[in-house]
């Protein structure tokens, strides 16, 4: 009897220590938790289709990604769980990953250092960059239970969207206004239309496009892509020298056009200033004539004698300055 009693007491103590005392838990500040009872998570009702970001899902995808909303345990504690309950904790910290990393095959994509893609002109290029992601607190079901490997799924989704965008990328149309009469003689194949050059010049637009296209990632896989940053686009080694020569020619043509445009602008400014100066000179010569005409008109209003006296005074002033006066004498 003592052995049986001791066994029972030991079993009770083990149960208390393992499931009662050990049933208390806490949730850290940067974590959320979900409780499952006999393997089923506690639900609140409703689905992720009620989320505002559901509008970014295509109609045929809405039923596929309709996950239930779960009751989330916030940071704090201590909380208590029974032996038949299990706690799943999730970190909400933002993480950074190389976009060439493959969670399922570390040796893929050149050992996770460079991602390959094909441009619209069939040029095989290498991409380098990073993505920032975090777990979606509004769709923990997809992250914990809906998808087996959320990181692998989100990376596959991101890469497929990126490769599709690069394969169809075209530089935004620009209004090229020619300021030189011979600018039409420049070969357009030198200055535009090279896909890798367009991609390099429009990296911010490419990153913004990826951010927009991945807005639904939280509803799909329970992971939010906060930002993507493509830092380098490299051509294949066999065409790198040819591309460098094309870019050098492009830079030389652009430099010549810029110098010609600057010279033309300078000449236009100088011509405008010359016209302004000559206009001021003409106004300076005409203004005394206008003043004299106004003065004579005013004198004429006071009678013909006044005008005659004015003429006499002018002659006397002229005679006073002259050294010699030649006067015609009438011989008759």
Q: What is the C-alpha separation between 79 and 73, in angstroms, rounded?
A: 9
pLDDT at 186 over 50: no
Provide the mean pLDDT of the chain: 79
pLDDT at 190 over 50: no
Share of residues in the chain with pLDDT > 90 (%) = 8
pLDDT per position as a tens digit, 83-96: 888 999 999 999 99
The tokens for 1 are 């009897």
The answer to whether the CB of 229 falls within 8 A of the CB of 205 is: no
pLDDT at 153 over 50: yes
pLDDT per position as a tens digit, 240-276: 665 666 666 666 777 778 888 888 888 888 888 888 8
Q: What residues does each domain of the chain span?
A: 2-90, 95-173+190-236, 237-300
CB-side neighbour CA atoms (13 Å) of 168 = 6
Report, as an integer, the average pLDDT of 77-82. Answer: 85
pLDDT per position as a tens digit, 279-321: 888 888 888 877 877 877 777 777 777 777 777 777 777 777 7
Q: What is the pLDDT of residue 170?
A: 77
Share of residues in the chain with pLDDT > 70 (%) = 80
pLDDT at 27 over 80: yes
Q: What is the pLDDT of residue 205?
A: 84
Q: What is the pLDDT of residue 33?
A: 92
pLDDT per position as a tens digit, 29-43: 889 999 999 889 888
pLDDT per position as a tens digit, 211-233: 888 888 888 888 988 888 888 88
pLDDT per position as a tens digit, 91-137: 999 999 998 888 888 888 888 888 888 888 788 888 888 889 999 88
Cα distances (Å, whole numbers) of residue 258 to 123, 176, 191, 268:
30, 13, 14, 15
**DSSP symbols for 302-313:** T-HHHHHHHHHH
Superfamily, domain 95-173+190-236: Band 7 domain (3.30.479.30)
Q: What is the pLDDT of residue 201?
A: 80
Q: How many angstroms separate the first and last alpha carbons of the chain?
A: 178
The tokens for 308 are 């005659």
Q: What is the pLDDT of residue 185?
A: 44
- Considering Cα of 94, then 99, then 102, then 106, what sign does the dihedral take? negative
- CA nearest neighbour of 57 among 200, 230, 219: 219
């Amino acid at each position: 009897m003592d052995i049986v009693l001791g066994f029972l007491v030991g079993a009770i103590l083990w149960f208390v220590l393992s499931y009662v005392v050990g049933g208390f838990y806490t949730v850290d500040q940067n974590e959320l938790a979900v409780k499952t009872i006999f393997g089923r998570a506690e639900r609140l009702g409703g689905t992720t289709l009620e989320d505002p970001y559901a509008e970014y899902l295509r109609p045929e995808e809405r039923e596929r990604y309709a996950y239930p909303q779960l009751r989330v345990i916030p940071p704090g504690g201590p909380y208590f769980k029974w032996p038949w309950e299990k706690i799943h904790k999730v970190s909400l910290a933002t993480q950074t990953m190389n976009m060439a990393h493959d969670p399922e095959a570390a040796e893929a994509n050149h050992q996770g250092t460079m991602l390959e893609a094909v441009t619209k002109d069939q040029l095989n290029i290498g991409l380098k960059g990073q993505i920032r992601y975090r777990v979606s607190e509004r769709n923990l079901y997809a992250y914990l239970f809906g998808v087996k490997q959320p990181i692998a799924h989100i990376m596959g989704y991101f890469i497929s969207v990126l490769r599709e965008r690069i394969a169809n990328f075209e530089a935004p149309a620009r209004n090229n206004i020619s300021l030189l009469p011979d600018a039409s003689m420049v070969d357009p194949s030198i200055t535009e239309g090279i896909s890798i050059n367009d991609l390099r010049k429009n990296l911010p637009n490419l990153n913004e496009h990826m951010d927009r296209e991945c807005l639904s990632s939280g509803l799909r896989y329970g992971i939010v892509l906060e930002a993507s940053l493509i830092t380098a686009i490299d051509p294949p080694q066999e065409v790198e020298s040819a591309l460098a020569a094309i870019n050098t020619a492009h830079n030389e043509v652009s430099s010549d056009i810029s110098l010609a445009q600057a010279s033309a602008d300078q000449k236009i400014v100088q011509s405008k200033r010359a016209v302004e100066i000559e206009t001021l000179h003409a106004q300076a010569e005409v203004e005394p004539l206008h003043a004299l005409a106004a003065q004579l008109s005013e004198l004429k209003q006071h009678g013909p004698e006044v005008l005659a006296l004015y003429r006499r005074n002018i002659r006397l002033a002229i005679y006073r300055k002259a050294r010699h006066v030649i006067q015609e004498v009438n011989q008759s």
